[in-house]
Amino acid sequence: PSATHRLKAFDLLAMRDPLSRNEIKSHGLTCLDAPDLAIREATSFPPSTALKKNNTIVSDSTRPEITKQLRLLAQQRNWQYLPILYPPTTPRPGKKSQKIFKKIKLARALGPLAKYLLSPRYHAHLLGAPDLPSYMNALRESNGVLTGRFHTACLCIGLGIPFIAIGSNTDKIQSLLIDAGLNPQQRIFPSSSLHSINHIPPFTPSEIESLANFRQESEIHFEKLFTAIRNLLPANP
């Protein structure tokens, strides 16, 4: 209640998933429906001309203990471990970014020992792709993705890449899949069942159709969001 009370001071609210929208509306607030913008970033990415590799990608999780299990599973299955976190080359403003940069410098100095001495989260930064286009190229050239990250699931939906998700720290991935017309029971596994995953099933024809409709509807919502933001700007800045 204290958080939603403060939201009343904002000129515009946009919620990216149905659970959040329902929660906001239950407090008497109005909001726009707009899925996460990572989906738009992926759908606007230039089409790939490269052949798909017979390769499964394993991403990380916001939960360090799950990240460690995902990394181990990738090693056992001979899959590519590629966290969504990127390795920073220069420090950015903010205490968190500076802390990450210092940890990465330490990890590089430790070499192979970093895997054992650093938290799985900071070790994941060390192994990530250098930038977003590189990460998306790797996703779309794979035959499937296993992830514990909400935004990796968003990118897979935008790119049309089959994936399985491990539950995150909230129900945001489950809510995203419901919004996209996917069955969470088929695409989300609990962490306790992680090591039973042997392959990433391709999308069924009905899933492909649902995702195509979702991406098309999402673009309409994105345009409404940007129009609403533009309308908040002064006419003659």
| Beta carbons of 200 and 143 less than 8 angstroms apart | yes
150: closest CA among 64, 33, 62? 62
Please tell me the predicted confidence (pLDDT) of residue 50. 64
Q: How would you write 128-168 as a 3-class SS string?
A: CCCCHHHHHHHHHCCCEEEEECHHHHHHHHHHCCCEEEECC
Dist. CA 133–CA 111, nearest whole Å: 26
* Angle, CA of 132, 137 and 143, to the nearest 5°: 130
Please tell me the predicted confidence (pLDDT) of residue 17. 87
> For the chain, which ranges sit under pLDDT 70?
48-51, 236-237
Please tell me the predicted confidence (pLDDT) of residue 130. 86
Dist. CA 197–CA 191, nearest whole Å: 11
Please tell me the predicted confidence (pLDDT) of residue 119. 75
Integer distance in angstroms from the first to the last C-alpha of the chain? 36
The pair of three-digit structure tokens given for residue 39, joined into one six-digit string = 């989906």
Dist. CA 231–CA 229, nearest whole Å: 5
pTM more than 0.85: yes
Please tell me the predicted confidence (pLDDT) of residue 237. 58
